[in-house]
Amino acid sequence: MTQQQPASDGGRRSGGLIAILVGAAVLVTFVLQNTQDVRFQFLWITFTWPLWLYTIVVAVFGALVWFGLGVVRRHRRRAERRDDRRS
């Protein structure tokens, strides 16, 4: 009798970790190289921010959107599986 090993997704996780580390390194490099101030105009609001701060704010916002889309996707998949079990 042979035992089957459970499927492992360790490779996928390590690939994701590598992508996160590379992305963080690129972000830090970009922030360190871009320290000048930039002027923004949105509708009637005008303000000046350091470019590094703007970059971090945009990166955090993008990460939150990406995470949120993943949560919505997981929720929909779980709801579909729940509905399939009831049928």
Query: How many whole angstroms separate alpha carbon 62 and alpha carbon 57?
Result: 9
Where on the phi/psi map is residue 43: left (φ > 0), alpha (ψ -120 to 50), or beta? left
Interval 1-54: pLDDT, tens = 555 555 555 555 688 788 889 988 998 898 889 889 999 898 998 989 998 888
pLDDT at position 2 is: 56
For the chain, where are the E strands, in sequence order? 37-42, 45-50
The pTM (predicted TM-score) of the whole model is 0.58
CA angle (20, 33, 27) in 5-degree steps: 10
